[in-house]
A and B are shown apart, each in its own frame.
Chain A
């Protein structure tokens, strides 16, 4: 059986499976999208954020 037929029979054939699949997929997509954008933001601003430069200042404060 080709892949498209399997896909149709598994997810698309019944609305009772199609709609919950959409909701679960939207949840997973939201998490993936957030983490992806956050990873891109951290990489783009590498070395500028507090968590990147924190070790310079916190260690100095503890030594004093």
Chain B
């Protein structure tokens, strides 16, 4: 029972390679060796496959015949260095190509050119960055049609002196008052420093005869009534705020003067453009 393990069959891999022609490759076997010419039917000559003497062979010694194979063969070339030769000189790094053709002729020109190229790239990059930011910010601004709708033009010649006109601008009423000279004098002679929201009449109008302001009460947003109130200006019916002829809060709960919108006079066409 104990020997069963030892009796296992072992399949050895073939130790010879097969040539494409089907012949087993045996590198150490001289298949070109021929038998002696007469093969025992005459005088036997020297074999043709005799190993040369430098590879080893049988020799006779005192203890009998000895067969010896030389592994390290003696050099067949002269071992001394040749001092006289015609080959090219050995370089320090013989595999490195010659780069002298590619080297810059002038270091100063090369340096200036390199910095110029770096600077050009930086310049274009800065330009691209600036353009990107600028174009992005432009998308946030109002387009031309929105801007055109946001303005109102009024012919000033149609408003007689001493009259109010109410126009709608961005959903809010705008009062335009063509003031008489007496009203202008009244607005300017008021002691405005003592008012609740001190503003002089010069700060509130661009031309003294035209008072343009938003018709929204600064208290809670009602629309005041024109040519009424204790001060000859506007009166808010909701909570009783009084505004004078310059639109300044004089009495009642209103904390601020009536707001002045941005406007421009177009003298050539006799118009005012609000917005």
Contacts and interface: CB of A to CB of B under 8 A. Distances in A.
A63 B28 CA distance: 118
Nearest to B113: A4
Contacts of B237: none
Contacts of B130: 26-27, 30
Interface string A3-34: 01101100110000010011101110110010
Contacts of B115: 8, 11-12, 18
Interface stretch (B77-85, B121-129, B165-173, B183-191): B121-129
A22 B123 contact: yes
Contact of A22 (B108, B113, B119): B119
B109 A4 contact: yes
A8 B112 contact: yes
B interface, by DSSP: helix, strand, loop or mixed? helix
B126 to A, nearest CB: 4
B262 to A, nearest CB: 29
A33 B111 CA distance: 28
A5 B112 contact: yes
B127 to A, nearest CB: 4
A23 B127 CA distance: 8
Contacts of B112: 4-5, 7-8, 12
Interface size class of B (residues with CB under 8 A): 10 to 19
A41 to B, nearest CB: 17
B196 to A, nearest CB: 49
Given A2-B108, A4-B108, A30-B131, A25 B113 contact: no
Contacts of A22: 119, 122-123, 126
A11 B124 CA distance: 17
A26 B126 contact: yes
A26 B111 CA distance: 22
A25 B116 CA distance: 12
Contacts of B116: 7, 12
B130 to A, nearest CB: 6
Given A11-B119, A18-B119, A29 B109 contact: no
A26 B134 CA distance: 13
Q: Which one of A4, A7, A11 has the highest number of Cβ atoms from chain B below 10 Å of its Cβ?
A: A4
A29 B151 CA distance: 36
Interface of A: 2, 4-5, 7-8, 11-12, 18, 21-23, 25-27, 29-30, 33
Given A21-B119, A22-B119, A33-B127, 8 more contacts: A2-B108, A4-B109, A4-B111, A5-B112, A8-B108, A26-B124, A27-B130, A29-B127
27 contacts: A2-B108, A4-B106, A4-B108, A4-B111, A4-B113, A5-B108, A5-B112, A7-B116, A8-B108, A8-B112, A11-B115, A11-B119, A12-B116, A18-B115, A18-B119, A21-B119, A22-B126, A26-B123, A26-B124, A26-B127, A26-B130, A27-B130, A29-B123, A29-B124, A29-B127, A30-B127, A33-B127
